[in-house]
C-alpha cells in the first residue's frame, strides 16, 4: 500500500492520534471522551484514519527488561560484498533484533538488539560477522522513546 502524505488532519484527528499514542488499548468510549465526540462519531473517525493509512496498527509497548532482556544494543551493519540479502535475512530471522532500518551511508542497516547477557550478544553478532562488518553500541538509556511526529 502506497501512502500519500496526509496533511489534512483536523484538531479532532490530532486528539484521536495523541490519545491512541498514549494508550492504544483505550476503549472507544474513552477515545470518544478524549476527542470530544460521541462513540459512533469517534468510531467513524477512527475508521477513516485507518482507511487513509494514517493508522496502520494498534500496538502494545513492552519493556524488554521485564521479559528478561536487560541489555540493548544498537548495531550498525555493513554487509560484505554480495552478502546484502543474506545479512538482511539473518537479521529478520533473529528474534532478538527487535528493530532494523535499511539506511544510506557507510552502513546498510542500523538495528536494535535485545539480549540477556554479553555472551548472548557475542553469539548473535558472531552469526552476522561471518557475512558483515558490525559496530555495536550498548544502550544506556532512551531519553526519547518512539513517538508521534509533529501533527501540525
Residue 88, domain CATH: 3.30.70.920
pLDDT, tens digit, 9 for 90 and up, residues 60-74: 888 999 999 999 999
CA nearest 30: which of 61, 9, 22?
22
Q: What local confidence, expressed as pLDDT, does residue 145 receive?
A: 87
User: What is the average per-residue pLDDT within 122-130?
Assistant: 96
What is the side-by-side strand order in the sheet with 132-138?
Answer: 97-102, 109-115, 71-79, 132-138
Predicted confidence (pLDDT) per residue in 70-115, tens digit: 999 999 999 999 999 999 999 999 999 999 999 999 999 999 999 9
Phi–psi pair at 21, nearest 5 degrees = -65, -35
Given this model, what pLDDT does residue 1 score? Answer: 46
Query: What span, in angstroms and rounded, lies between the C-alpha atoms of 135 and 18?
Result: 35
Residue 118: the pLDDT is 98
The answer to the question of residue 108 being in a domain is: yes
Question: Could you tell me if 13 and 31 are in contact, meaning their C-beta atoms sit under 8 angstroms apart?
Answer: no
Give the pLDDT mean for 26-54: 95
17 inside domain? yes
Question: How many Å apart are CA 87 and CA 109, to the nearest integer?
Answer: 9
Q: Are 115 and 121 in contact (CB under 8 A)?
A: yes
Q: What percent of the chain has pLDDT over 90?
A: 82
Q: Are residues 105 and 76 in the same domain?
A: yes
Model confidence, pTM:
0.80
Domain extent, residue 41, equals 11-51
- Work out how many domains the chain is built from and give that number: 2
Tell me, yes or no, whether 103 and 126 share the same domain.
yes
Amino acid at each position: 500500500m502506497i501512502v500519500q502524505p496526509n496533511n489534512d488532519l483536523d484538531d479532532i484527528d490530532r486528539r484521536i492520534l495523541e490519545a491512541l499514542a498514549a494508550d492504544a488499548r483505550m476503549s472507544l468510549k474513552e477515545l470518544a471522551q478524549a476527542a470530544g465526540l460521541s462513540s459512533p462519531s469517534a468510531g467513524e473517525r477512527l475508521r477513516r484514519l485507518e482507511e487513509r493509512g494514517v493508522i496502520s496498527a494498534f500496538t502494545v509497548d513492552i519493556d524488554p527488561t521485564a521479559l528478561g532482556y536487560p541489555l540493548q544494543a544498537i548495531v550498525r551493519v555493513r554487509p560484505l560484498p554480495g552478502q546484502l540479502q543474506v545479512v538482511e535475512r539473518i537479521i529478520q530471522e533473529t528474534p532478538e533484533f527487535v528493530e532494523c532500518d535499511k539506511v544510506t551511508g557507510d552502513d546498510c542497516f542500523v538495528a536494535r538488539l535485545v539480549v540477556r547477557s554479553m555472551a548472548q550478544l557475542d553469539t548473535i553478532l558472531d552469526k552476522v560477522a561471518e557475512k558483515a562488518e558490525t559496530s555495536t553500541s550498548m544502550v544506556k538509556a532512551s531519553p526519547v522513546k518512539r513517538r508521534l511526529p509533529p501533527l501540525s
